[in-house]
Chains A and B, each alone.
Chain A
Amino acid sequence: MEQFLTFGVVGLATAAIYAIIGSGLVLTYTTAGVFNFAHGAAGMMAAFAYWQLAFGWGWPVPLALAVVLLVLAPAFALFVERVLMRPVQSLGEAERLVMTVALLTGCIALARWIWDPNTPRPLRPFFADQPAFHLGPAPVTWHQALTLGVAALIAAGLWLLLNHTRAGTEMRACVDDRALARLTGASPQRAARFAWILATQLAAVGGILIAPNIALDAQQLSLLIVSAYTAAVFGRLRSLPLTFLGALVVGWLESYLTGYLPQNDYLPGLRLAAPALLLFLALLVFPHRRLRGRERRLVRVPLPTPRGSLVFAGCVVLLAVLLATVLDEEGLISYGPAFSLGIVALSYVPLAGYAGQISLCQLSIAGIGAVVWAHLGGAGQLWALPAAVLVAAAVGAAIAVPALRLSGIYLALGTAAFAVILDRWVFTLPSFEVLGVRIALFDQGSVEVQGPNLFGWRLDSPAELLVLSAVVMAASSLAVGWLRRGRFGRGLIALRDSEAAYATLGGRPLAAKVAVFALSAAIAGLGGALYGMQQRTVTAEQFNLLANLPVFLVAVIGGLGAVGTGLFTGFAYIAPPHLLGHFGTWAHDVSTLGIALAGMGLAHNPAGVVPGLREEWAPLARDRVLLPVACGALGLLWLLYGTGLIGGAIFLVAAVLVAVALRIRATARQDGPPPAPDPVEWWGIRRPWRAEDREVIARGIAAG
């Protein structure tokens, strides 16, 4: 009984922290309409800042607390609200979600850059020198008591604020109807700003209170948010009392699993994954709208032509052959995975670009492809590759079933929870047997991955695997382009634009979603298997949720609807850390920070950069004179490099210069001087109204 009560007290204290953090999530969702994925990261930054002031620089604790809670947290909140969120306020839910994912990624990279993760930073609990007191037989530390007291004060304070103050009334009015609230003199913007400040302060309090219980680690602290997500989903992102109740459930669940879960090799991960499992179940059990209407703003999905697709596929293979001949062994190992990771990113195109289903677990599914290939294709058996693809597809199909009930933010949360379950539990399992079949994953460490045996030809060198990956990427890109032009692709876009109309015309949303999730997972699994081959050894950490986020972000920056996004993502994700790697060990964090910052620029180009690049290079691809000239020039340079007359660096620079010069020439040949743009007030009169005009005007109005 004593043990039960002791774990109960520990669970209660943890629940209090989750309740504090979760209530901040609810506040921003209800007032600003933003589900803040970076909420935990704000708490993490506050914990690091508090450590820096109080322990790093030795400031008095009250002063450090005051600076963090009253100066830094509000300043951070105002920055996020004004600079990041306001420009995307007029855009869709997906864009707001991406913005917070970018913020989360950026905060983690920034924290790891500033505070070296290899240096331990112990954070002392509050009143650590005071002996614990007893509540019945259960010992209670003063830190736990303080946590409970703070949570109770915050609960009372939020109730008073929302029900008995003008600011609270304004916030609630804006939740009900922003437009109507504005007519009555309330300011939704002021309410949102106030909510952001308050929510960030709550995250900071939560972060500072929980940091002494775990290591001060950027990733670990940011991921604690999964427990707070679960609490908030209990409150359906709207109810503070239910959020507090959800926090209690999560806190006690974690605590009692720690105390009473049998000790063996299979279950410790279950305790770590328990909040994510609970989140997944809560998302499925609580009712959401089944059929949603159309989005507020539509981003075009490019329609690739058969010829354009073939030219692109040819360019991918050509690029791979050039890289395979020009790069040295180290370069091949560094840049080769751009193609395999690009295939993983390509899996977003049918899923998110066409069907509008947000998934934050594509890299985790790639991990499944890698591990299946590693175990079944140990001697390079080619049949193991389709097997890896099929297993990944089956996992994708399984995710799709709950996806029928979820959309938008709920689907993103569900897939994030799935990634956490895989990472913390499934991938950590030792091998086990099901119906006599031995299933092995990462064997609680790493697994070695071999190259395939292609009809007697063993592909094992980095150059061979790079070309293989590029050929598979070219084929996958052709297939995805063909899909876009065909019946299935049209159906997916229709499903995304109006699920209600799709269903009432005879479409089966469940079948379409299962199909697209399975297809997308198959592509991701294929990419994962190739990625594993190129890496030689893979670990579970390479496929965790936090590894998923930057890949997703780069794909968004590229443009989720464009087939070229795969290649773009592969290189934009792989190249910067390797290029910067020569200058210092901070390269990875800084390049991730760069990705996050680019993701934050989403508001200025929601369609992504690839459609723009495609438009720029299309004249050269269409030019029947200059395209052969470009190919000939590249061939000549390659010959010069092959005969040793020029080096690899000169070859690459000259190739890029020739391509750019010919592109400029092709554009000039096609267009002549570009016409002056029509003023906005003449759109639809002097020139036809275009689909993107509404977006441009909306963005202009939003930007003030």
Chain B
Amino acid sequence: MASLRADDVTVTFGGIRALDGAGFAAGAGRITGLIGPNGAGKSTLFDVVSGLRRPRTGTVVLDGRDITRDTPAQRARRGMARTFQRLELFGRLSVRDNLRVAAELGSRRREAHRIADDLLERIGLTADAGTTADALPTGAARLLEVGRALAGKPGVLLLDEPAAGQDAQETLRFAALLRDIAADGCAVVLVEHDMSLVMSVCDQVHVLDLGKVVAVGPPEEIQQDRTVLAAYLGEA
């Protein structure tokens, strides 16, 4: 069972501290929300956790092993997968080939065909299998990114605004998919601006503001937290 922990992560851009001692923990079979206003540092924290950005301070621990200095590929091979706030699909490839490449890059080369077909069905894109990924509407493209991340059967899944561009019906189906993924034992970390989705699926929510974690707790507690309200709405 996978677990992920990021502690005391600091990242600076020039003189600006994008992250200032931030961190979170995510456990197997649970969905952990990471919310905060724009510019709070959520995506930067994902970049640090997935190895795309080196932190100034802090550690990232996956299944009890310090992976702070590992490359993104090494982290992926240890069972971590992610999606991106700005879509990072393989736009020239078909929807099916996006999933096949993901399976082939992981350790499931021989089963790539079958995995791609299974995932197409799971994310509901079988009808678009031959479509070039760049031609997908945003909602479907987000789903494809999630499917692609699942191709390596990850233990930890980082989702960066996966519901952006989805309508209400799609978001409902997506919430069911998230619960399904977590039920398989995956530790899901969700960055999302759709608060109804976050509050309905997350077991634990971390709130980031100006690079710091200002609140941690179950959704019902977070909704009442004064610090959180102040971060989103400003001081009264």
Interface: A263 (CB within 8 A): no
Residue numbers in B under 8 Å from A294 (CB-CB): 87-89, 91
The answer for the CA separation of A497 and B148 in the assembled complex, in Å, is 14
> Do A500 and B92 have beta carbons less than 8 Å apart?
no
Which of A298, A502, A690 contacts B91, CB < 8 Å?
Answer: A298
The answer for the CA separation of A505 and B98 in the assembled complex, in Å, is 11
Residues of chain A in range 97-149 having any CB-CB distance to chain B below 8 Å: none
> Do A501 and B92 have beta carbons less than 8 Å apart?
no
> Do B97 and A490 have beta carbons less than 8 Å apart?
yes
Given contacts A490-B100, A500-B84, contact A506 B152 (CB under 8 A): yes
Residues of chain B in range 135-158 having any CB-CB distance to chain A below 8 Å: 135, 148-149, 151-152
Which of B72, B92, B102, B109 contacts A298, CB < 8 Å?
Answer: B92
> Do B81 and A498 have beta carbons less than 8 Å apart?
no
Given contacts A503-B72, A505-B105, A505-B152, contact A300 B132 (CB under 8 A): yes
B80 to chain A, nearest CB (A): 8
Residue numbers in B under 8 Å from A306 (CB-CB): none
> Do B88 and A503 have beta carbons less than 8 Å apart?
no
A605 to chain B, nearest CB (A): 17
The answer for the CA separation of A487 and B106 in the assembled complex, in Å, is 12
> Do B90 and A501 have beta carbons less than 8 Å apart?
yes
- For chain B, the count of residues having a C-beta within 8 Å of the partner chain is 39
Q: Encode contact with A along B152-184: 1 for CB under 8 Å, 0 otherwise.
A: 100000000000000000000000000000000
A392 to chain B, nearest CB (A): 28
B7 to chain A, nearest CB (A): 21
> Do A503 and B52 have beta carbons less than 8 Å apart?
yes
Interface: B134 (CB within 8 A): yes
> Do A506 and B73 have beta carbons less than 8 Å apart?
yes
Interface: B76 (CB within 8 A): yes
> Do A508 and B73 have beta carbons less than 8 Å apart?
yes
Interface: B71 (CB within 8 A): yes
Given contacts A300-B92, A691-B134, contact A506 B76 (CB under 8 A): yes
Q: Taking CB as reference atom, which chain B residue is nearest A508?
A: B73
A486 to chain B, nearest CB (A): 10
Interface: A56 (CB within 8 A): no
The answer for the CA separation of A490 and B90 in the assembled complex, in Å, is 9
B95 to chain A, nearest CB (A): 12
> Do B88 and A500 have beta carbons less than 8 Å apart?
yes
Interface: A491 (CB within 8 A): yes
The answer for the CA separation of A294 and B81 in the assembled complex, in Å, is 18
> Do B135 and A504 have beta carbons less than 8 Å apart?
no
Given contacts A487-B104, A503-B71, A506-B73, contact A691 B90 (CB under 8 A): no
> Do B90 and A498 have beta carbons less than 8 Å apart?
yes
> Do B109 and A487 have beta carbons less than 8 Å apart?
yes
Interface: B67 (CB within 8 A): no
Residue numbers in B under 8 Å from A272 (CB-CB): none
> Do A494 and B101 have beta carbons less than 8 Å apart?
yes
Residue numbers in A under 8 Å from B109 (CB-CB): 487
Q: Taking CB as reference atom, which chain A residue is nearest B106?
A: A506
Given contacts A293-B86, A490-B101, contact A504 B93 (CB under 8 A): no
Which of A298, A504, A505 contacts B134, CB < 8 Å?
Answer: A298
> Do A493 and B76 have beta carbons less than 8 Å apart?
no
Interface: B33 (CB within 8 A): no
Residue numbers in B under 8 Å from A508 (CB-CB): 73
Residue numbers in B under 8 Å from A494 (CB-CB): 90, 93, 98, 101, 105
Residue numbers in A under 8 Å from B51 (CB-CB): 503-504
The answer for the CA separation of A504 and B53 in the assembled complex, in Å, is 12
Interface: B56 (CB within 8 A): no
Given contacts A505-B76, A507-B73, A689-B135, contact A497 B86 (CB under 8 A): no
The answer for the CA separation of A691 and B91 in the assembled complex, in Å, is 9
Interface: A333 (CB within 8 A): no
Residue numbers in B under 8 Å from A300 (CB-CB): 92, 132
Interface: A301 (CB within 8 A): yes
Residue numbers in B under 8 Å from A509 (CB-CB): 73
> Do A501 and B88 have beta carbons less than 8 Å apart?
yes
Q: Taking CB as reference atom, which chain A residue is nearest B112?
A: A487
Interface: A291 (CB within 8 A): yes
Residues of chain B in range 50-77 having any CB-CB distance to chain A below 8 Å: 50-52, 71-73, 75-77
Which of A490, A503, A691 contacts B132, CB < 8 Å?
Answer: A691
Residue numbers in B under 8 Å from A291 (CB-CB): 52, 72
Interface: B82 (CB within 8 A): yes
The answer for the CA separation of A413 and B228 in the assembled complex, in Å, is 50
The answer for the CA separation of A509 and B76 in the assembled complex, in Å, is 13
A698 to chain B, nearest CB (A): 13
Q: Taking CB as reference atom, which chain A residue is nearest B50?
A: A504
B114 to chain A, nearest CB (A): 15
Residue numbers in A under 8 Å from B102 (CB-CB): 505
The answer for the CA separation of A507 and B151 in the assembled complex, in Å, is 13
> Do A490 and B104 have beta carbons less than 8 Å apart?
yes
Which of B73, B91, B105 contacts A491, CB < 8 Å?
Answer: B105
Q: A490-B97, A504-B52 are in contact. List 11 more A-B contacts (CB 8 A).
A: A294-B91, A494-B90, A494-B93, A501-B148, A502-B105, A503-B52, A504-B75, A505-B81, A507-B73, A689-B135, A694-B134
Using a CB–CB cutoff of 8 Å, the interface residues on chain A facing chain B are 291, 293-294, 298-301, 487, 490-491, 493-494, 496-498, 500-509, 689-691, 693-694
Report 12 cross-chain contacts, Cβ distance below 8 Å, ordered by A residue: A291-B52, A293-B88, A294-B88, A301-B92, A493-B90, A493-B93, A501-B89, A502-B105, A504-B75, A506-B73, A506-B77, A693-B135
